[in-house]
Amino acid sequence: FPADPKTEHEESRHLAQAYLDQFYTLETEGSHLIQNKSNVPLDGKLREMQAFFGLTVTGRLDSNTLEIMKQPRCGTPDVGQ
Amino acid sequence: YGYTLPGWRKHRITYRILNYTPDMENSDVEEAIQKALELWSKVAPLTFTRISKGNADIMVAFRTRVHGKCPRQFDGPLGVLGHAFPPGPGIGGDTHFDEDENWTKDSSGFNLFLVAAHEFGHSLGLSHSNDPSALMFPNYAFIDPSKSPLSQDDIKGIQAIYGSSSKVPAKPKRPTIPQACDPNLTFDAVTTFRREVVFFKDRHLWRIYYEVSEVEFELISSFWPSLPDDIQAAYENNRDETLIFKDANFWKINSYAILPGYPKSIYDLGFPRHTKKIDAALFNRITRKTYFFVEDKYWRYDEINQSMEKGYPRRIARLFPGIGLPVDAAFQYKRFFYFFSGTKQFEFNPVTRNITRVLKANSWFQCQKTLNSSPYNSFSQEKNSNSKSVQVISRKSFILLIYNITYLLTEIYR
């Protein structure tokens, strides 16, 4: 039974959102409209995270980025508040 | 690296362990926490004191599912392992470990020492580093805990906040290099070595050639990599072998090769068990006996029978009156024995049993001050005068022959 690619993608997107929310203080409140239209905050934080980890900065949720996000790590955010 | 100033405004920081994980022995937890803090105190002027009551600067705890509302929740097994707050009052500095992880003191689970060391970096004001080799890189990687997990990036980071520690060992002292013409030069051992004389000192040696007015200075390891430094005695026997002594061991060298099966124990040569080291050794080419000097006594070893002679040890002063003690080094050159004691060298005539000259220990090197009294130079002078007259050579050889015969007869009689 192959996994539903749509579901898998959805899971990854949730994971990324939670990760960026936890470690890159992804701000969603008050910017729902913008986020829905263009995903700008998510893309921007993804770029920030990819740059921090020395990944190729694509702004897209590629496999390398997901792999890093799944690794055990420190709970302290990577960017200061 | 990244950091937050000003860090702690003090250098004495307290910590308290609020609870323990059931995954490990309490003592192992305490050791991991203490070692993790020591890692930082070694490179920055910080001291950590453990308290068991009250409010410590760094409160250490194992927790599950905490930080729920904050964007740093402990998320069950795997995922987030630990969290720490930057320096400050209240929760500032506090460090939490996710109890849902499997904490270990080795690599079978998550190594508490490594995670604690990382978290304490935050407690002291460091943020994450994007250098994957740094301890402050945010993702967990097991590193052999016997090696310091701190990278240069981590050290630079913590020192940017607190400065460098006076406890950080300074650059290792460069080993001192002995100077051939130092008037205070002493030797560890001296021996002939084929057509050379070799002077040992610490990690180094000087070698002089009989026919060449050159002094070579080398590391002992350049010639014999497996020989130790600071050797204590050496001599060359009549079988083209050189024996090197340190403590209760000796090595046998043939040319540049250390013979297999060495080091051996000096007790194999016949020394008693209470002898712990040899000060000096001298091989007499005429009698083929070797003298071993230990404190104020000497032994005599028969190289032909390969055995220590009976009736020894005897007092050095009895056979070699007047030479300085202890004997640091000794060797035979032509018909004389040369004894080294501190910065002095005693030229000894074994036939007449008296000291013929007292020299500086380094008189064999071409130092300007000792140039005229150097036996090395007397050798050169002798060599130069050789061309003057065949008669002189014959007369000298005849005298030398008479000396040798007399000496041999004396030794046999003795």
Is residue B69 within a helix (H) or strand (E), and if so which, with residue range? Answer: none
**pLDDT score at B382:** 36
Tokens 């920030």 map to which residue? A48
**The residue type at B409:** L
Q: Cβ B138–A54 below 8 Å, yes or no?
A: no
Who has greater pLDDT, B216 or B404? B216
Structure tokens at B79: 């995922």
Average pLDDT of chain B to the nearest whole number = 85
Report yes or no: B104 at the A interface, CB cutoff 8 Å.
Answer: no
Q: Cβ B80–A21 below 8 Å, yes or no?
A: no
Report yes or no: A4 at the B interface, CB cutoff 8 Å.
Answer: no
pLDDT digits (tens, 9 = 90+) for B343-367: 999 999 999 999 999 999 999 987 8
Beta-carbon contacts below 8 Å between A and B: 68
The closest CB to that of A73, out of B2, B71, B81, belongs to B81
For residue B404, pLDDT beyond 80: no
**pLDDT score at B211:** 65
pLDDT digits (tens, 9 = 90+) for B147-186: 789 988 999 999 999 988 765 444 445 567 899 999 999 9
- DSSP-assigned states of every residue in B155-218: HHHHHHHH---TTSPPSPPPPPPP-TT-TT---SEEEEETTEEEEEETTEEEEEESSS--EEEE
Task: Give the B window 122-161 contacts with A, CB below 8 Å.
Answer: 122, 127-128, 130, 132, 138-140
Structure tokens at B142: 């097991």
**pLDDT score at A50:** 92
The β-bridge partners of B95 are: B60, B84
Shortest distance, CA A35 to any CA of chain B (angstroms): 19
pLDDT digits (tens, 9 = 90+) for B178-192: 999 999 999 999 999
- Which residues of chain B neighbour A78 with C-beta distances below 8 Å? 127-128, 138
Q: What is the ipTM of this complex?
A: 0.78
pLDDT digits (tens, 9 = 90+) for B81-95: 999 999 999 999 999
Q: Cβ B119–A74 below 8 Å, yes or no?
A: yes
Average pLDDT, consecutive stretches of 10 residues, N- to C-terminus, chain A (81 residues): 56 86 68 44 84 88 89 86 58
Interface test with chain A among B63, B66, B72, by most A beta carbons within 10 Å: B72
- DSSP-assigned states of every residue in B297-317: EEEEEETTTTEEPTT--EEHH
For residue B373, pLDDT beyond 60: no
Q: Cβ B122–A80 below 8 Å, yes or no?
A: no
- Which residues of chain A neighbour B112 with C-beta distances below 8 Å? none
Contact assessment for residue B314 and residue B297, using Cβ atoms and an 8 Å cutoff: yes
Report yes or no: A2 at the B interface, CB cutoff 8 Å.
Answer: no
**Helices B26-41, B112-123: crossing angle, 10 deg rounding:** 50
**The residue type at B114:** L
pLDDT digits (tens, 9 = 90+) for B219-235: 888 788 788 889 999 99
The closest CB to that of B72, out of A71, A76, A80, belongs to A76
Contact assessment for residue B335 and residue B404, using Cβ atoms and an 8 Å cutoff: yes
Q: Cβ A76–B127 below 8 Å, yes or no?
A: yes
Q: Beta strand pairing status for B58-63 and B95-98?
A: parallel
**pLDDT score at B69:** 56
The closest CB to that of A72, out of B2, B71, B81, belongs to B81
Structure tokens at B5: 């100033």
B382 belongs to the catalytic site: no
Q: Cβ B138–A80 below 8 Å, yes or no?
A: no
Handedness of CA B198, B199, B201, B206 (dihedral sign): negative
- Please identify which of the residues B99, B101, B119, B347 carries the catalytic annotation: B119
**The residue type at B241:** E
Q: What is the mean pLDDT of residues B37-64?
A: 93
The β-bridge partners of B243 are: B235, B252
For residue B307, pLDDT beyond 90: yes
**pLDDT score at B94:** 95
Who has greater pLDDT, B307 or A4? B307
- Which residues of chain A neighbour B71 with C-beta distances below 8 Å? 21-23, 25, 77
